[in-house]
Structures are given as C-alpha cells and as structure tokens.
Amino acid sequence: MPQATGKISYAMPTFFLGGNLIHFAAFKQHIGVYPSGSELGALKDEVARYRTSKGTLQFPLSEPIPYELIGRVALARAAERTEKKKK
C-alpha cells in the first residue's frame, strides 16, 4: 500500500489514505489491529477466530502473527476507501 501514509491517530500508529485505514496497538497479551469500522466482507471467515468485537482484531502473542492476513485486511480497507471516494 505505497500510496498510504503513516500517522498517529487515537494515540496509535495508523495508515491513512483519504481517511484512517487501519490502526495498530500492542498490549501485554495481544497485538490489536483496528481496520477502522470495516466489515471486512470476503475476509470475514479468515478473521473470525480473531475478531473480538466490531472493527477489532486481536492476535494473541502466544501464536505466530498472521502478517499475510493483516496485509489482506489492509488491502481490503484500501479498496473500501477507494470505492467510498468514487461515490
């Protein structure tokens, strides 16, 4: 996602592309990924085991972090932002 920029939003590192795309935060037991209220459409099944509430994914530190999945979530958010911009 080379067109996205980084910033701090809600006191978290955030990728921004015409709006907040995805936020990240580290906690004692997990890494939190916040795809800015996205419903995640086609990725719902893949993220179901991690999702703890709307717009929140928690990846336990006791398991390998699924970087490829996080990348797909970020790309899905970028596609949502691009579609929203066109409307």
CA distances from 73 to 10, 28, 38 (A): 19, 23, 9
Query: Could you tell me the CATH number of the domain that includes residue 79?
Result: 3.90.1150.200
Range of the domain at 13: 5-86
* Mean pLDDT, the chain, integer: 86
The partner residues of 23 in beta bridges, in order of sequence, read 14, 34
List, for residues 7-23, the tens digit of each pLDDT value: 999 999 999 988 888 99
- What average pLDDT score do residues 71-78 get? 88
- The count of domains in the chain is 1
List, for residues 44-71, the tens digit of each pLDDT value: 888 888 867 778 899 999 999 999 999 9
The per-residue pLDDT for 50 is 84
The per-residue pLDDT for 37 is 63
